[in-house]
Amino acid sequence: NAGVTQTPKFQVLKTGQSMTLQCAQDMNHEYMSWYRQDPGMGLRLIHYSVGAGITDQGEVPNGYNVSRSTTEDFPLRLLSAAPSQTSVYFCASRMGQFRAWSGYTFGSGTRLTVV
């Protein structure tokens, strides 16, 4: 199994550009989420989804859009990139919508720089 796959691994954007960070999992996990991690800080939740067609905002959703049309994919869209969105982005998934005991599987991250 590939687990959680994130693409691209690295990206440089100019201010105002838009782009989509891809996340795919092959474990049939219902729950998927996106985090960002800034230097010296912990991970902060951007958006999450408890299943196909259902998404919700996390702690820092502004400037990002998500959709969940399939169980496998959960893309993160930056609408108009800003330097404050320079960060490392992690996608994660887990079994079950409401299983507080299930462990998360994380992707290897996308390092985004906005200039």
Partner 1 sequence: DAKTTQPNSMESNEEEPVHLPCNHSTISGTDYIHWYRQLPSQGPEYVIHGLTSNVNNRMASLAIAEDRKSSTLILHRATLRDAAVYYCILRDGMEYGNKLVFGAGTILRVKS
Where do contacts with partner 1 occur on this chain (CB under 8 A)? 31, 33, 35, 41-45, 48, 50, 56, 58-59, 90, 92, 97-101, 103-109
Q: Which is nearer to partner 1, 5 or 17 (CB)?
A: 5
Secondary element (H or E) of residue 26: none
Question: Rounded to whole angstroms, what are the CA distances from 66 to 19, 40, 41, 63, 99?
Answer: 12, 26, 23, 10, 22
Q: How far is the CB of 42 from partner 1 (least distance, A)?
A: 4
Residues 6 or more apart whose CB falls under 8 angstroms from that of 39 comprise none
Q: Which is nearer to partner 1, 17 or 88 (by Cβ)?
A: 88
DSSP 83: G
At its nearest, how many Å lie between partner 1 and the CB of residue 14? 25
Nearest to 61 by CA among 44, 75, 39, 49: 44
- C-beta of 49: minimal distance to partner 1 in Å? 9
* Smaller CB separation from partner 1, 58 or 75: 58
